[in-house]
């Protein structure tokens, strides 16, 4: 699991960590039963305070995505597939909003967007 933070972003660092770890869990990149990086390790890797990582992980515990096991650390819980599907749908919605902004800047109309999406969709199906 790769976490990237931006110290210049308006979003607090603990939120950036929480959002990225949540996304990795719900997308299946970090499977059920996996242990998250230790508090100290992730803090050292990101060059942030252990308190910052602790807050992010504790929020994930409160959301029911991970549990804190004594001697083992933070472990990914079994996730309801409906929750994972909802999270992935949110990611699609976000990507579509970003696409709309980029298309407008590039002066690409909706018909061209549809054509390109159909083409991308078909090429994915061929893989």
CA of 5: how far to CAs of 18, 48, 50, 57, 103, in Å?
11, 10, 15, 15, 27
Q: What is the pLDDT of residues 27-70, one digit of tens each?
A: 889 999 999 999 999 999 999 999 999 999 999 999 999 999 99
**pLDDT > 70: percent of the chain:** 98
Q: Which residue has the tokens 């709309």?
A: 100
**Regarding the domain delimited by 13-76, which CATH topology (the fold level of the hierarchy) does it fall under?**
Arc Repressor Mutant, subunit A (1.10.10)
Q: Are residues 76 and 32 in contact, defined by beta-carbon separation less than 8 angstroms?
A: yes
């Amino acid at each position: 699991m790769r976490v990237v933070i931006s110290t210049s972003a308006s979003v607090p660092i603990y939120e950036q960590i929480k959002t990225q770890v949540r996304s990795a869990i719900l997308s299946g990149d970090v499977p059920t039963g996996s242990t998250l990086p230790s508090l100290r390790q992730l803090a050292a890797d990101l060059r942030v305070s252990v308190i910052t990582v602790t807050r992010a992980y504790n929020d994930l515990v409160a959301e029911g995505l991970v549990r804190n096991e004594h001697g083992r650390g933070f472990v990914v819980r079994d996730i309801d597939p409906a929750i994972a599907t909802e999270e992935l749908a949110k990611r699609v919605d976000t990507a579509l909003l970003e696409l709309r902004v980029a298309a407008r800047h590039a002066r690409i109309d909706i018909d061209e967007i549809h054509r390109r999406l159909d083409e991308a969709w078909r090429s994915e199906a061929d893989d």
